[in-house]
């Protein structure tokens, strides 16, 4: 199963995680793709409920273009286009040369600790 981990971390913890991931990749170890946000507000701004719904729909119906996606979701084209662009920038969606959409991940795991890491 192809998955990505999304973390909510303070800047120092994010740098430590980045460094550890970098060293693991340099050592040839398998590295799980990660996205990191500095706050829950940033996370929920970038990955809204509508965007999660869009991701799930694309995962179940790969090969749609933005217009087809908007029609099948019953949403405004412009809003879907904005959401798709944001999700492509985050790496959560991929757009083929022909404009069709696919999801590179089967699972998104979100970690948001409530205490600072020791």
Domain that holds residue 55: 3-112
pLDDT along the chain (118 residues), means of 10: 91 87 91 91 95 97 96 97 98 96 95 69
pLDDT number for residue 118: 44
Task: Identify whether 22 is part of a domain.
Answer: yes
Examine residue 60 and state whether it is found in any structural domain, yes or no.
yes
Residue of 88, 84, 87, 52 lying closest to 68 (CA atoms): 84
Q: What is the pLDDT of residue 116?
A: 59
Q: Is residue 118 part of a domain?
A: no
Q: Do 55 and 83 meet the contact criterion of CB atoms below 8 Å apart?
A: no
What is the spatial distance between Cα 107 and Cα 88, in angstroms, rounded to a whole number? 16
pLDDT at 11: 83
pTM of the model: 0.85
Does some domain include residue 117? no
User: Is the residue at 20 inside a domain?
Assistant: yes
pLDDT of residue 44: 94
pLDDT in the model for residue 63: 94
CATH code (residue 86):
1.10.10.10
Sorted by sequence, the CB contacts under 8 Å of residue 66 that are 6+ apart come out as 77, 80, 81, 84, 99, 101
Strand positions, DSSP E, 21-76 = 34-37
Paired strand residues for 37 = 8
Count of domains for the chain: 1
């Amino acid at each position: 199963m192809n998955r990505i981990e999304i973390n909510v971390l303070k800047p120092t913890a994010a740098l430590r995680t980045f460094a550890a991931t970098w060293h693991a990749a340099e050592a040839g170890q398998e590295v799980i793709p990660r996205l990191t946000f500095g706050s829950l507000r940033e996370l929920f701004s970038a990955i809204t409920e509508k965007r999660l719904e869009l991701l799930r729909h694309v995962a179940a119906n790969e090969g749609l273009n933005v217009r087809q996606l908007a029609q099948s979701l019953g949403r405004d084209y412009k809003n879907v286009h904005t959401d798709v662009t944001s999700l492509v920038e985050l790496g959560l969606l991929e757009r083929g040369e022909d404009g069709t959409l696919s999801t590179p991940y089967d699972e998104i795991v979100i970690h948001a600790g409530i205490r600072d890491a020791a």
